[in-house]
Amino acid sequence: MKILFLNGPNLNLLGQREPGTYGSTTLADIEVMVREEALKRDVEVFFRQSNLEGDLVTWIQQAKGAHDVIVINAAAYTHTSIALRDAIAATGIPAAEIHLSNVHAREEFRHQSMIAPVCKGQITGFGALSYVLGLIAAVNIKENT
């Protein structure tokens, strides 16, 4: 089983970026946590981050035939990107949306997710644990599709 973790803009700054909201764990630390969990489940994980919308669109397109499930923290593009939504819909790869913070408890513009309707579900507000929960969800999605 191959699970692709995609990370959007500014998530490369985790650890130093608004720690009160996003915690002090870096993306590299989160990747280690996810890899430890993946090892226990005999799952292969791939981690990518970009600040560019087009990179994320391309990686979603390239995932077709290469990965079983996408776990995506699209960061701010969650709330704006029809292109990401279309890419997920176009490839038909099952996707799980994740966020560190609880987007529904924050500013109103974060309450809307462009990608939620084309994702299997949303995990939001559990900090770094959202990524591990995303992995568990992805395994479950794959086993049930």
Q: Is 22 a catalytic residue?
A: yes
Q: What angle do CA 23, 85, 109 make, to 5 degrees?
A: 50
To the nearest whole angstrom, how small is the minimum distance from the Cβ of residue 138 to ligand DQA? Answer: 17
Of 10 and 26, CB closest to ligand DQA: 10
CA 97 to each of CA 8, 36, 40: distance values in angstroms, whole numbers, following the listed order: 12, 21, 22
8-state DSSP, 5: E
Site residues for ligand DQA per CB under 6 A: 10, 73, 75-76, 78, 99-101, 103, 110
The nearest distance, CB 119 to ligand DQA, in angstroms, is 13
> Residue 81 or residue 101: which is nearer to ligand DQA going by CB?
101
Q: Is 67 a catalytic residue?
A: no
Q: Which of 67, 77, 99, 131 is catalytic?
A: 99
Buried-state track 93-116, b at ≥16 Cβ within 10 A, e below 16: bbbbbbbbbebeeeeeebeebbbb
Half-sphere exposure of 129 (CA within 13 A, CB side): 5
Rounded least distance, CB 139 to ligand DQA, Å: 21
Active site residue ranges: 22, 99
